[in-house]
Amino acid sequence: MKNVLVIGSTGQIGSELTMELRKRYSGNIVAGYIPGAEPKGELLETGPSAIVDITNEQQIAETVSKYNIDTIYNLAALLSAVAETKPQLAWKIGMGGLFNVLEVAREMHCAVFTPSSIGVFGNNTPKDKTPQDTIRNPRTMYGVTKVSGELLSDYYHIRFGVDTRSVRFPGLISNVTPPGGGTTDYAVDIYYAAVQRGHFECPIAKGTYMDMMYMPDALKAAIELMEVDASRLVHRNSFNIASMSFDPEIIYHAIRKRLPDFTMEYNVDPLRQAIADSWPNSLDDTCAREEWGWKPEYDLETMTDDMLRVLEARFKK
């Protein structure tokens, strides 16, 4: 029996994570949402849902109490490119919201997972095989909130004993949830474009390497980290995890092997390119592998096979 609240359950990761948790656990797996982003379909029908605005501490506490929640997955955030256009709101949700979650967790004895990101790193960070413990000096509001969130989560563990854990997600590629304004979302868009239109305008420049991960591996990481015995953890907030690293040309040619008529041209978005240029090319995830047995299941080839299979079945009926 496990009772879990997923805040931001209808977002990029949240909908798929909520469904995966419901497959794995009995108990209340509550889909927390804000008005205007209500759960639909299977997400609505397979378990409880509740209005949970992360900026409302009382609302969080009432939901935790009602459903006897023992674990909170805090997924509320504005993604990187969107956060640059709304920095005040990004801080309010990313940091004010996290503070509310941690306070509720402290008072009501919940474990907390809050995803971090490769966005915590900046131009002074080693670009290749970025170490677990290294300089974190982001120049985006998204990155600033993620670094601050790592530090605040560690503080609540050290000071109050709250069981806080997180991973630094790379770019996430999903065949279920459409892209939502992240810098790495071109690697989702390109598959949809290949299947639906046969052509893609790439907003990220050739030669720009970024770490990426297929969503099933991201869900696996989020759940497995929360399941591991705390005595094994040296780090908590936050673990590097890695799966694959590529630039737009590499993913383009992986798709062309399967769809030979697919074409691509570059139309670089200066905002997203500047963000991408400040991020690592690849991460060293040795600590995650050693401390809790992290191991991805997908690489570029197996992910591409699966993405195209699912999208072609959906759009070419």
Residues carrying an active site annotation: 142
- Exposed, middle or buried: residue 115 (CB in 10 Å: 0-12, 13-18, 19+)? buried
Number of Cβ within a 10 Å radius of residue 38: 14
Name residue 5's beta-bridge partners. Answer: 30, 72
Number of Cβ within a 10 Å radius of residue 155: 14
The SS3 call for residue 255 is helix
Name the strands in the sheet holding 171-173, side by side, starting at the edge strand that comes first in the sequence. 171-173, 210-214, 244-246
The one-letter amino acid at 181: G
Question: Measured between alpha carbons, how far is 123 from 221 in angstroms, rounded to an integer?
Answer: 27
